[in-house]
Amino acid sequence: MSNDKSSNTKMRVLHRYLGFFLAGIMAVYALSGIVLIFRDTDFLKSEVTVEEKISPNVKNEELAEKLHFRRLKVEKEEGNMVYFQNGNYNRETGVAHITTKKLPYVLDQMTHLHKASTEDPLYWLNIFFGFSLLFFVISAFWMYIPKSNVFKKGMIFTAAGVVLTLILLFI
């Protein structure tokens, strides 16, 4: 019995201090996750016009790559001017004017953290945070004695949460 109490106490202490340590990053992930829900809208974004100089006489097929666009569709051409959604390119001078919508700097940095990939050094923080959240899930089951009513009700809520998540994933 004392061994169970000891492991329960250790798990609770780890859970508590890791929770305090990660409180700030959890707030950042929560806010950036909410902002990312609206990424296809102009919510909180402001218009920014950028002038970019690239090589003159770039072909339409190469324009997206040179301007770092994933999808660029040329809408029309008039003389030396190439027009596309949110901008234009002058073939003669090599100057492109691009209008985009950007989040304020702090929110942009927060969403960048949230979306970090393996090419970004921040991905180690994301992996650590993911494993920490997984630890929270597991260690939460050591917070209460399994025979207690609170634990039994908690298991019902856990099952309901899993079922709701599965329903939302597959509908």
| One-letter amino acid for residue 125 of the chain | L
Q: What is the pLDDT of residue 67?
A: 92
Lowest mean pLDDT among 53-57, 123-127, 140-144, 156-160: 140-144
User: How sure is the predictor about 1, in pLDDT bands with cuts at 50, 70 and 90?
Assistant: very low
User: How sure is the predictor about 4, in pLDDT bands with cuts at 50, 70 and 90?
Assistant: low
For residues 148 and 142, is the Cβ–Cβ distance under 8 A?
A: no
Cα 142–Cα 145–Cα 146 angle in degrees, nearest 5: 90
Q: Report the pLDDT averaged over residues 113-130.
A: 90
| One-letter amino acid for residue 92 of the chain | E
Cα 128–Cα 11–Cα 155 angle in degrees, nearest 5: 95
User: How sure is the predictor about 2, in pLDDT bands with cuts at 50, 70 and 90?
Assistant: low
